[in-house]
Amino acid sequence: MIIFERSCVRAFSLGTFWTFIANKVLGRIELELPKRGVMVVNAVIVDALAKDYGSFRALKGISFTVRQGEVFGLIGPNGAGKTTTLRIISTLLKPSSGNVHVFDFDVVRQGKEVRKIISYLPEDAGAHKDLKGIDYLRFMARFFASNTIELEGIVQRGIEIANLGDRIYDKVKTYSKGMTRRLLVARALMTEPRLAILDEPTSGLDVINAWEVRKVIRNFVAQGHTVLLSSHNMLEVEFTCDRIALINRGEIVESGTPKELKGKYNAQNIEEIFVEVVKCSATS
């Protein structure tokens, strides 16, 4: 989000400014200009997205936007349609109907451009077990770096993000699940994608590892990047996400900031809101 207030203008570098102006002139950036002077760049626009698996409709025409510079959470129970949505945004799956744009690139017609600016971490991703952590990062960095200096820069960022200390020099097969996940999150973020798409980044992690991953995500966004993540853990998203959309059975049932939603439903947490919304939609 770009806010025309003094503090935020400082965070908006000159290079980014001219890129932004050029894109605006070319009509490649959509803006919302609410009354209070807040100008929003959309990182993702999902519009009436539907996905059928045979005769089963997994996504029933969902719409939402992710703003540049925020952590947006797609939150819902198992089978709600989170992975399907993230895979479509990542260009790995074709929609049945509807439109999806990532920084104004159409995911169907301009998949190549989209893949250059995103990074996708699947829920069930694994790393090569016989490689040392550092060698895995170096192996993956080679797909992105155009010279040795760039390569080492990417690997260094990966080491810092993974924060595994000396264990980065051990083989992945000796890692716990939490350590492997931290390595994979580092792999996804070390190339500094404009948009990181993380499917259940903290699923199955203990408190400490989940906290580490959440901290990494918040730091990444603080540097101006955008994160779209999914989670079925409705309690943790309040601490990670700026805005959320609750998804159930292929439909977005509610969206907003955690604070807004808690106020609207007079609820203590997102779980309470989800139960309330699903109960209401079942009886209406």
The Cβ-side half-sphere exposure at 256, using a 13 Å CA radius, reads: 13
CB of 56 to ligand ATP, least distance (A): 6
Q: Please tell me whether residue 263 binds ligand ATP under the rule CB under 6 A.
A: no
Residue in 58, 159, 261, 273 binding ligand ATP, rule: CB under 6 A: 58
Q: Please tell me whether residue 53 binds ligand ATP under the rule CB under 6 A.
A: yes
From the CA atom positions of the chain, what is the Rg in Å? 19
In angstroms, the CA 173 to CA 115 distance is 29
Residue span binding ligand ATP (CB under 6 A) among the ranges 80-88, 104-112, 161-169, 205-213 = 80-88
Q: For 237-246, give one letter per residue: b (16+ CB within 10 A) or e.
A: bbebbbbbbb
In angstroms, the CA 136 to CA 162 distance is 12
Indicate the residue among 171 and 232 with the shorter CB distance to ligand ATP.
232
Q: Please tell me whether residue 232 binds ligand ATP under the rule CB under 6 A.
A: yes
If we measure between CA atoms, which residue out of 97, 91, 87 comes closest to residue 109? 91
Indicate the residue among 93 and 117 with the shorter CB distance to ligand ATP.
93
Q: Please tell me whether residue 49 binds ligand ATP under the rule CB under 6 A.
A: no
First to last CA, the chain: 36
CB of 141 to ligand ATP, least distance (A): 28
Residue span binding ligand ATP (CB under 6 A) among the ranges 23-31, 71-79, 108-116, 145-153 = 71-79
Beta-carbon count within 10 A of 110 CB: 15
Indicate the residue among 17 and 53 with the shorter CB distance to ligand ATP.
53
Beta-carbon count within 10 A of 17 CB: 12
Residue in 42, 65, 83, 202 binding ligand ATP, rule: CB under 6 A: 83
The Cβ-side half-sphere exposure at 23, using a 13 Å CA radius, reads: 15
Q: Please tell me whether residue 228 binds ligand ATP under the rule CB under 6 A.
A: no
Residue span binding ligand ATP (CB under 6 A) among the ranges 32-40, 82-90, 100-108, 161-169 = 82-90
Q: Please tell me whether residue 209 binds ligand ATP under the rule CB under 6 A.
A: no
Indicate the residue among 137 and 244 with the shorter CB distance to ligand ATP.
244
Q: Please tell me whether residue 24 binds ligand ATP under the rule CB under 6 A.
A: no
In angstroms, the CA 116 to CA 262 distance is 37
Contacts of 111 (CB under 8 A, 6+ apart): 91
Name the residues that contact ligand ATP, by CB under 6 A: 53, 56, 58, 76, 78-84, 123, 232
